[in-house]
A and B are shown apart, each in its own frame.
Chain A
Amino acid sequence: MTETKQVINRLYAPTWRWLKLNEEQVSLPESLAPAKVLPEGQTTAGASASVLYGPDCGSGLGADFAAYLGSHLPSGAGYILEPEPLIRLSLVSRAGQAQAASFALSVPGGKECTLCMDYASEEKGEGTLLVDLQIRLGQGASLHLIQNDRLNPDSCLYNGVRVVCGKEAKMDSVQMWVGGKTVYAGYRAELEGDASVCTPSVGYWTRTGHKSDFNYEMVHRGKETSCDVLFSGILDEGAAKTFRGVIDFKTGSSGSVGTENENVLLTGDRVLNRTIPLILCSEEDVKGNHGATIGKLSGEEKFYLSSRGLDEASIDALLVRARLNWIVERMKDEKAREQILAFIGEMYAE
């Protein structure tokens, strides 16, 4: 399979090069097949990807990735989603293939939608799935987005989300990255309209030998906009994770508030956990804050549970799952919740 070198998840404001955090260099397939999307019969964007990747359209994974998809997205792999109250999509990845699907959803003013996207593997074996989602929310529109990664542990996933929020629009998302071996997730929210809101919650479980690379950008342009980014994850022995988080208060975003919290549980002794949470501010009347706690399970937590009769393995399992459940509980769709909890249970059993 021939590949092309691309840069994704580029850090919004670069820092020391020796940290190797400024970007992620990846090799993307030269040839892509359309991903299998269920239910069938969704409205496609036609043969050309330019409907989705016009000159002013980026991707959560970055401009280079948008350009790549613009030129590589296969015919029939671009979808225009209708803003139904509940949209449920399943993407089924096939082993041995590099598949892609791109979606655009425009939610008109005053409407509320829930979009559930489930990624699963048809069989065991290596496969690559590229998913990109472009969202535009009209005045007062609301979208609940759920994305569950239930891919097999040999898979590679690229997932981009880009949302442009109009006045008083609300975007909340819950993403669970617990399946694939390598996960690249990018997310960019343009809070253009006054009083627009974006609240992404992300749970991840990066297991031994797995790699996660995240880039989440919240760009505040309108007045009194707000964001609340929550990351809660687990890194097993030998896992590697990079999280780039950005809250950018542009001039004119007065009265805006941005919060970013990260909670990382380290279950192994040798991990690679890299975090760079940026707050950029060119507006005086704003409040931005970031908090991170990174460490092992506390002795106090373990002692309390052992005093209740649990052995060490059960305590670890309970507390680790609690970290993920904390995010899963935010899903506004019961079926999606049950699916991902069952998947996490299966992973534990393995």
Chain B
Amino acid sequence: MEEKTYIEDIDRSIYDIRNENDDSYRIEDGLTEEIVRQISREKNDPEWMLQLRLRSLASYRRQDIPNWGPPIDELDMDHISTYVRPNTHMANDWESVPKDIKDTFERLGIPEAERKSLAGVGAQYDSELVYHNVKKEVAEQGVIYTDLESAMHGPYEEMIRTHFMKLVPPSDHKFAALHGAVWSGGSFVYVPPHVQVSIPLQSYFRLNAKGAGQFEHTLILVDEGASLHFIEGCSAPKYNVANLHAGCVELYVGKNAKLRYSTIENWSKNMFNLNTKRAIVEEGGSMEWVSGSFGSHVSYLYPSTILNGPHADVTFTGVTFAGSGQNLDTGAKVIHNAPYTSSYLNTRSISKSGGISTFRSSVSISEKAHHSKSSVSCQSLMLDSESRSDTIPAMDIRAGEVDVGHEATIGRISNSEIFYLMSRGMSEDEAREMIVRGFAGNVSKELPMEYALEMNRLISIEMKGTMG
């Protein structure tokens, strides 16, 4: 009898470190106008931001829960604290960060990564940034990389006011509205025209508090002809109650500009990850998403891109690994809104031990987007019959002069592939491992070396078995 391929769960021990929250400030659970006003006071919001929060709250109350995705009945907003402030202020050197928080980030390898391979780092702990720094030579190019709250009270307030939640309006969906009401933390990046940021910036989000939500906002503007690689990482220890992440990412890619946005999402398995990411790309601009989804109990994650100028393009490369107790609904959306635009979506998903992985996408080509091209490829690997894998790709094409291709496959590791590799001298375990790693390789090969290694560590694979 054929023995099943066995793939171990991701080793989460280093992510499960918990710190006590005794000295932090925690707003009461639930969502009321008073809570929203209190957060606004804590953040020292300008008046326009308070009004945006209140409009968002009203929108949240009007909108219903999505009826098409994984169930989120276990998420009870009455038992979520929307704001937890660690007992520290933002620092720009690690020595000024409280020891327990610093140790957490040390274990996650953030300071080391900053020293080795990053142009700047932002580290958020619960609802606030605790560390933010950008290398001097990058700052000297005119690159702004700071926390959103500081930027909102400085010379960039107008830029923020005209871009914040304009790409993802609170009316977009219920959790965008929730974000608008209670957002806190996150980063603001501005890359001036024709500046090439040759090494990446990174933001890392850590949610330590039990039964809390994290609602950071990332706003990036890459001006004409400029380029940037931004990396986002996230993790949390596991609790026996629900935690919520409803962040928002808004990316503006200018004419002939280029932005790569890489994410390794590794939330704990009690997390509801209801995140919204959206980019708008102007003429000749280029957007690349690299996305690895490994954590969370439930995920709704579909980075979307509006190709708004001729010859703009987007590439989305994603891998999703759904294990026991996980229901990960991931994918991408693209709207072609100008002629000669192109999109390329390439995803892999792996399901095991009862995990549910759903690839969901949409490609919309408007009447204006003649001579556009789109290619969507999604491949799913099922490692046992307890698990589930679905693909739900939609295409809405309204222009005639277009070229659209789509392919999807679902299957298991083929015995013939294993046989071939074994005939080349590999053991069966080695062969299986190579196939699974190769299957997810579309993402790891797009990451800087340090992050590819991190991803490979995340997919800790152990094989055993014999051919049937």
Contact = CB atoms under 8 A, between A and B. Distances in A.
B403 interface: yes
> Size band of the A side of the interface?
35 or more
Interface in A1-38: 13-17, 19, 21-22
A281 B388 CA distance: 6
A283 B406 contact: no
Nearest to B403: A295
Given A13-B392, A15-B68, A19-B362, A284 B402 contact: no
Interface in A314-328: none
A285 B468 CA distance: 13
B457 interface: no
A4 B330 CA distance: 38
A6 to B, nearest CB: 19
Contacts of B67: 14, 17
A278 B392 contact: yes
Contacts of A283: 382, 385
Contact of A284 (B362, B383, B394, B405): B383
A15 B361 CA distance: 9
Contacts of B390: 13, 278-281
A272 interface: yes
A291 B407 contact: yes
Nearest to A278: B392
Interface stretch (A122-130, A131-139, A202-210, A261-269): A261-269
B380 to A, nearest CB: 7
Interface in B377-436: 380, 382-385, 387-412
A57 interface: no
B397 A294 contact: yes
A276 interface: yes
A292 B402 contact: no
A287 B411 contact: yes
A268 B400 contact: yes
A260 B47 CA distance: 55
A281 B382 contact: yes
A15 to B, nearest CB: 5
Given A251-B385, A292-B404, A292-B405, A281 B410 contact: yes
Nearest to B356: A282
Given A276-B394, A279-B391, A289-B410, A294 B382 contact: no
A268 B382 CA distance: 41
A237 B367 CA distance: 12
A274 B394 contact: yes
A202 to B, nearest CB: 17
B258 to A, nearest CB: 28
B297 interface: no
B404 A294 contact: yes
A269 B393 contact: no
A274 B382 contact: no
A186 interface: no
B396 A254 contact: no
A290 interface: yes
Contacts of A290: 391, 406-409
Q: Which of B360, B367, B370, B382 has the most CB of A within 10 A?
A: B382
Contact of B398 (A13, A249, A272): A272
Interface in B353-379: 360, 362, 367, 370
B398 A271 contact: yes
Nearest to A283: B385
Contacts of B392: 13, 15, 276, 278
Given A15-B68, A270-B367, A295-B403, A279 B395 contact: no
Contacts of A285: 385, 412
B394 A237 contact: no
Contacts of A270: 367, 398-400
A277 B409 CA distance: 11
A84 to B, nearest CB: 40
A17 B360 CA distance: 13
A267 B400 contact: yes
B393 A294 contact: no
Contacts of B384: 284
B394 A19 contact: yes
Interface in A84-126: none
A269 B368 CA distance: 10
Contacts of A269: 370, 399-401
A287 B409 contact: yes
Contacts of A268: 400
A288 interface: yes
A279 B379 CA distance: 11
Nearest to B397: A273
A270 B401 CA distance: 9
A286 B405 contact: no
Contacts of B389: 281
Contacts of A287: 409-411
Contacts of B396: 19, 21, 272-274
Nearest to A17: B68
B409 A288 contact: yes
Contacts of B385: 251, 254, 282-285
Contact of A277 (B370, B388, B393, B400): B393
A288 B392 CA distance: 13
Given A15-B68, A285-B385, A287-B410, A292 B395 contact: yes
A48 interface: no
Contacts of A294: 395, 397, 402-405
A159 to B, nearest CB: 24
The residue in A13, A266, A276, A281 that gathers the most chain B C-beta atoms within 10 A of its C-beta is: A281
A296 B98 CA distance: 62
Contacts of A277: 393, 406, 408
A294 B387 CA distance: 32
Given A284-B383, A284-B384, A279 B398 contact: no
Given A278-B392, A281-B390, A295 B402 contact: yes
B387 A293 contact: no
Nearest to A271: B400
Contacts of B68: 13-17, 22
B430 to A, nearest CB: 21
Contacts of B388: 280-282
**Which residue of A237, A270, A295 has the most chain B CB atoms within 10 A of its CB atom?**
A295
B409 A276 contact: no
Q: Which 5 A-B pairs have the closest CB atoms?
A: A294-B404, A269-B400, A14-B68, A292-B406, A288-B410
Interface of B: 66-68, 360, 362, 367, 370, 380, 382-385, 387-412
29 contacts: A13-B390, A13-B392, A14-B68, A15-B68, A15-B392, A15-B394, A16-B360, A17-B67, A19-B394, A19-B396, A269-B401, A270-B400, A271-B398, A273-B395, A273-B396, A275-B394, A275-B397, A275-B406, A276-B392, A276-B393, A277-B408, A278-B391, A281-B389, A281-B410, A284-B384, A288-B408, A291-B407, A294-B403, A296-B400
Interface of A: 13-17, 19, 21-22, 237, 249, 251, 254, 266-296
Given A16-B394, A295-B404, 4 more contacts: A266-B397, A287-B411, A291-B407, A293-B405
